[in-house]
Amino acid sequence: MGIHVIKMPDLGEGIAEVEVVAWHVQPGDVVKEDQVLADVMTDKATVEIPSPVAGTITSLGGAIGQSLAVGAELIRLEVAGAGNLKDKGAASQEPARTVAATAPAEEVAEPQLAAVAANEASAVAPAPASRPAPAARPAPVSKGAPQLRAEGEKPLAPPAVRQRAWDLGVELQFVAGSGPAGRITHADLDAHVAGHRGGAANGGPDERYAEQHGEHATQVIGLRRKIAEKMQEAKRNIPHFTYVEEVDVTELEALRLQLNARYGAERGKLTLLPLLMRAVVLALRSYPMMSARYDDDKNLLTTYDAAHIGIAAQTDNGLMVPVVRHAESRDPWSSAAEISRLADAARTGKATRDELTGSTITITSLGALGGIVTTPVINRPEVAIVGVNRIVDRPVIRDGAMVARKMMNLSSSFDHRVIDGMVAAQFVQAIRGYLEFPATLFVE
């Protein structure tokens, strides 16, 4: 038997290190040749690492979330034959690093979600002892023993407590009182709302108001960590400013519905996004500095004749930005097909590195989820991002009459180091012009 060491391969494009995001094997597992051992992340692309040999896993080279340099030991197997580890004596004295030996305790724990505290029931603080009642009156109910009143008996409470109960939606009939003659105090009401005392007619706890004390820790790794780093870099390095303009998309929506009715069966259905992409492409011809990337270190702004438009897409793993390359050469149906293909690849984790890099301007949309205005973060090193908000029917004054129109806001952010406010406003107004007069989208 021999030892075979699998090292982190060179994945190309100047990648010096990768992050381990998933292990598919554990020490003691028997694996076959070409079986996937681990997933590693480079920038935004996840790469599977297969086994070149069959054998038994003896150790792992790192914890989930740990970065490994290219050439570092990834995994060690016991194989039939000599293996590829030449100095077996040295290997026996200095075994490969294992997850348990090298990773901090926090990383060895379950990486996704670890419950660090459980729900606990709070104990009711003891109430002060009751005062003796005057001899001429019946003895009051003890403050330390709140009780519910008999059926049909009206609850006793001062006006301030009644008002609070009304505001909270609490029926005083079901609140136990600890004051004289069962009078309900503010403390009784607080205890009832908190779920410590009878919340129902039978005096049982009301779980709707029960206190919760759970805490949960989630290790930020993989794509989520990359997103955090990218966002932090963008906000730290780019002085953002956001410009919002409302757009009347009544005619655009009418055209979209007409195109879908006429060509949808053979060319596919159009959403708003391909039409917006075409408007951005046409606007870039007048404002080419928007299709650009800014090098902070060299203070170099590179503009591109091509429009490689990134489309921010939400996936189960986090935010990804697949790129529609050469959008200037695509009609709306070609753009729609490419958007659909890229979105599916991103959601299923099959998008390649080339499909997730190289954009020159980005479009982001939360329109389907609602929202009036957003302040999108620029996809560094780009200098502009166009955000789409929801379409709403609103009354608008046109020719002196109030009419219902479909209105949508564009929320766009720009890098103020290289884009002046007036230029940014002109760029958005150019997009608005194409969207409000959609026939111009098809006129060169």
Q: Give residue 251's pLDDT.
A: 97
Q: Give residue 434's pLDDT.
A: 97
Q: Which two tokens stand for residue 197?
A: 């005392």
Across 28-37, 158-167, 209-218, 345-354, which has the greatest mean pLDDT?
28-37
DSSP state of 21: E
| CA distances in angstroms from 363 to 12, 108, 411, listed in the order given | 29, 39, 10
* Concatenated DSSP letters of 379-443: -TTBSEEEEEEEEEEEEEEETTEEEEEEEEEEEEEEETTT--HHHHHHHHHHHHHHHHSGGGGG-
Going across the sheet that includes 384-398, the strands are 240-248, 401-415, 384-398, 361-365, 309-311, 323-324
Arithmetic mean of pLDDT over the chain: 82
Q: Give residue 205's pLDDT.
A: 59
Task: Say whether the peptide bond before residue 205 is cis (omega within 30 degrees of 0).
Answer: no
Q: Give residue 139's pLDDT.
A: 40
Handedness of CA 54, 60, 64, 65 (dihedral sign): negative
Lowest mean per-residue pLDDT among 262-266, 316-320, 346-350? 316-320
Distance CA(36)–CA(260), nearest Å, equals 44
| CA distances in angstroms from 213 to 16, 24, 122, 197, listed in the order given | 43, 34, 9, 18
Does the pLDDT of residue 134 top 80, yes or no?
A: no
Q: Give residue 391's pLDDT.
A: 93
Q: Give residue 151's pLDDT.
A: 66
Higher confidence at residue 359 or residue 317? Answer: 359
Q: Give residue 76's pLDDT.
A: 92
Q: What mean pLDDT do residues 310-316 have?
A: 87
Q: Which two tokens stand for residue 439?
A: 């026939």
pLDDT in tens, 142-172: 444 555 666 667 888 888 888 888 888 788 8
pLDDT in tens, 206-247: 666 677 778 888 778 877 888 888 889 999 999 999 999 999
Cβ-based burial of 121 (10 A; exposed 0-12, middle 13-18, buried ≥19): exposed
pLDDT in tens, 366-423: 877 778 899 999 999 999 999 999 999 999 999 999 999 999 999 999 999 999 999 9
Q: Give residue 431's pLDDT.
A: 98
Task: Report the percent of the chain where pLDDT is more than 70.
Answer: 80
For 366-373, the CB contacts below 8 A with 24+ separation are 366/390, 367/272, 367/391, 367/408, 372/409, 373/244, 373/409, 373/411
Q: What mean pLDDT do residues 38-55 have?
A: 84
Distance CA(344)–CA(316), nearest Å, equals 12
Q: Are strands 318-320 and 323-324 parallel, antiparallel or unpaired?
A: unpaired
Contact status, residue 55 vs residue 79, Cβ threshold 8 Å: yes
| Residues in Cβ contact with 94 at an 8 Å cutoff, skipping those fewer than 6 apart | none
Q: Give residue 121's pLDDT.
A: 35
Does this model's pTM top 0.75? My answer is no
Lowest mean per-residue pLDDT among 125-129, 264-268, 281-285, 421-425? 125-129
Across 30-39, 89-98, 137-146, 186-195, which has the greatest mean pLDDT?
30-39
Question: HEC profile for 104-172?
Answer: CHHHHCCCCCEEEECCCCCCCCCCCCCCCCCCCCCCCCCCCCCECCCCCCCCCCCHHHHHHHHHHCCCH
Q: Which two tokens stand for residue 61?
A: 């080279």
Does the pLDDT of residue 110 top 60, yes or no?
A: no
pLDDT in tens, 271-296: 999 999 999 999 999 999 999 999 98
Does the pLDDT of residue 114 top 70, yes or no?
A: no
pLDDT band at 335 (very low <50, low <70, confident <90, very high): very high
State the angle between helix axes of 272-286 and 421-436 in degrees (0 to 180), rounded to the nearest 10.
Answer: 130
Does the pLDDT of residue 118 top 60, yes or no?
A: no
How far is CA 56 from its chain centroid? Answer: 38
Residues marked active site are found at 416, 420
Q: Give residue 58's pLDDT.
A: 92
Q: Give residue 223's pLDDT.
A: 76
Task: Report the percent of the chain where pLDDT is more than 90.
Answer: 48
Q: Give residue 377's pLDDT.
A: 95
Helix (H) or strand (E) segment spanning residue 364: strand 361-365
Contact status, residue 88 vs residue 28, Cβ threshold 8 Å: no
Distance CA(180)–CA(124), nearest Å, equals 20
Q: Which two tokens stand for residue 116?
A: 């660090």
Q: Give residue 147's pLDDT.
A: 57
Contact status, residue 280 vs residue 363, Cβ threshold 8 Å: yes
Lowest mean per-residue pLDDT among 110-114, 153-157, 314-318, 348-352? 110-114
Give the Cα-Cα-Cα angle 157, 161, 163 (nearest 5 degrees). Answer: 115
Contact status, residue 286 vs residue 433, Cβ threshold 8 Å: no
- End-to-end CA distance of the chain: give it in Å, rounded: 71
Give me the half-sphere count of Cα atoms (radius 13 Å) on the Cβ side of residue 424: 22
Q: Where are the alpha helices (DSSP H) in 169-271?
A: 186-193, 222-237, 250-267
Higher confidence at residue 313 or residue 204? Answer: 313
